[in-house]
Amino acid sequence: MHWLIKCRSKPGTDVLRLATIDAHRNFLEGYPEVTWYSGPLFTDDNKNAIGSLRLIEFPDRDAALAYINADPYTQAGIFQAITIERWKPGLDMRQRDYARKGGTMQFVIHCHDKPDGGARRAPLRDAHLDCLNVHKRIIVAHGSLLDDDGVKTIGSVLILDVADKAEAGAFWADEPFNRAGVYEWTMERWRFGHV
């Protein structure tokens, strides 16, 4: 099974994060085979870390929770909130295999269905897949978020590699599911981290 783990940092923990970063990186090095993507979330100006996002494989939620609870950042009390959601990869590409581009920035779009999202999504699936294909040069990763049983779609996650936030916003404004109001969503600056 694959999981999204999104962590939000407490305000004022920059010094603590820097003091813990070597232990955190050493911890991440213990999980190279199961880590699909891992990196920090930042403010839009790229100056302040505000959390992390990881896409990772574990057999169940308990294993994913044990992993994030063992992270030195968690143990140091840096995170104020941790979200764990089942994820279904839409691409067979991992961070270590992704050809990095120069002069770009990355953004994560994290989406949850509105109450009627499933009904709105169904007739637009082909248009959604066509959109992803047309824009594949800027899409690092994407996939559905599922309930823990893996049966019901509850949202989506995308990682974009773009020139700037305006390019990310233009793509997202025209994405069929978003345009039809399927989601509540956030778009946040992310960058490739230690895998």
User: Which amino acid, residue 34?
Assistant: V
What's the rounded Cα separation, in Å, for the pair 78 and 17?
7
Number of H helices, E strands in the chain: 7, 8
pTM above 0.85, yes or no: yes
Q: Which pLDDT belongs to residue 195?
A: 80
Closest to 130 in 3D by CA, of 187, 99, 181, 174: 174
Enumerate domains of the chain plus CATH numbers.
Answer: 2-88 (3.30.70.1060), 90-190 (3.30.70.1060)
What is the number of other CB atoms lying within 10 angstroms of the CB of residue 80?
Answer: 12
Mean pLDDT by 10 residues, the chain (195 residues): 97 94 96 96 90 97 98 98 97 92 95 93 94 96 94 96 96 96 96 89
Q: What is the pLDDT of residue 46?
A: 84
Contact present, 56 and 84 (Cβ < 8 Å):
no
Q: How high is the pLDDT of residue 118?
A: 87
Q: What is the DSSP string of 66-125?
A: HHHHHSHHHHTT-EEEEEEEEEEESSS--GGGS---TT-EEEEEEEEE-TTHHHHHGGGH
- For CA atoms 56, 59, 64, 70, give the dihedral sign: negative
- CA gap 159, 165 in Å, rounded: 12
Cβ neighbours for 8, distance < 8 A, ≥ 6 positions apart: 41, 50, 51, 79, 80, 81, 82
Encoding tokens for residue 170?
A: 């233009």
What does the chain come to in residues? 195
